[in-house]
Amino acid sequence: MGELRLTAIGIGELRALFSGSPAIEEHLRSVAAHAWPPEPPPTRSPLLGKIGPLTRLPPDAPVVRPGVPTAADIHDLARGRFIKPDRLTAAWALVRVWLDACGWPTLSLALDEPAINDLDFELATGGVETRYALRRLLNDKLALPLRNAPGQVTGYVPFDHARALREAWRPALATLSPHNATTAQHIVGWLGGLESWADYAHRAGLRAPDLIASFTTVSRRS
């Protein structure tokens, strides 16, 4: 299984996250602290402490949790610095909570790759041009300093393309199988907010939101 996330935000606003702005980094730290409250260091057995200084950790050593961003992750991400491969999942988790905290709307759907391919096939059969296929959103055009996490593909299309996609899908909804129709209706219904989001952005002095897409395959553990 996997997760498809669609977010309406100007690509410029997203790229600004990595600009090195002190204000953005401070906001990022606040968001992360709310999403992942710090945990106290684990209690260590006195016996282990007698083994020697080579195995002894400082009492204030940070707890590194898989998938949870550290202070170093936040610092590096906000400055567009290199993120180590084993920290990419945590870094993208940080991007997601930042987007949520900024108030930009996001749609999350549980899908796998065969389901995406099947939906695109039925849309094409229903008369939708291939340039408006769901898969075409994952075009690797974000151009962020942050690489994709393992199992993740990303992309974006401009506001006008997102609106055209919505209008192209609407007539085809009646031709889709029940399962694909449900998925497509979720996306079309969510995209129905584009004009109101664009109006909000205009009043805030921002450009109309683009459509940011991310699909991540969730690996199954045995």
- Domain map of the chain by residue range? 2-57+65-217
The model's pLDDT over 163-174, given as tens digits with 9 standing for 90+, comes to 999 999 999 999
- pLDDT computed for residue 5 by the predictor: 97
Residues 83 and 91 sit within 8 Å (Cβ to Cβ): yes
* pLDDT tens for each residue of the chain, 222 residues long: 899 999 999 999 999 999 999 999 999 999 999 999 977 665 655 555 555 555 454 545 455 666 799 999 999 999 999 999 999 999 999 999 999 998 899 999 999 999 999 999 999 999 999 999 999 999 999 999 999 999 999 999 999 999 999 999 999 999 999 999 999 999 999 999 999 999 999 999 999 999 999 999 976 553
**Measured between alpha carbons, how far is 153 from 13 in angstroms, rounded to an integer?**
20
**CB atoms inside a 10 Å sphere around CB 32:** 24
**22 three-state secondary structure:** helix
- pLDDT computed for residue 103 by the predictor: 84
Residues 157 and 210 sit within 8 Å (Cβ to Cβ): yes
**110 three-state secondary structure:** strand
Q: Which helix H or strand E contains 211, and what residues bound it?
A: strand 210-217
pTM: 0.87
